[in-house]
Amino acid sequence: MIIFDRLWKTMEKKGFSTYRLRESCGIDSKTIRRLKANENIESKTLNKLCEALDCNVEDIMEYIPEEPLK
């Protein structure tokens, strides 16, 4: 499972709010909601986030293995 907990920490370190992402990066509120819910997003959104925050993809997302089904 991909989670975006690192995104919120990186945004805080760099002084970014969700408002700033929407206004300066063209990321809409629906996408912000999807990020907060750890739902699927497009790779072009990841690109926009990395450009805006001047960071690498691992600074905004993390892979967590899911428990295997028994």
Mean pLDDT on 44-52: 94
CATH of domain 2-63: 1.10.260.40
When comparing pLDDT for 25 and 37, which is higher? 37
31-45 per-position pLDDT tens digit: 999 999 999 999 999
| CA-to-CA separations, 46 to 22, 30, 43, 57, 67, in angstroms, rounded | 14, 15, 5, 7, 26
Sole residue written with tokens 């990395």: 50
Would you kindly state where each structural domain of the chain is located, as residue ranges? 2-63
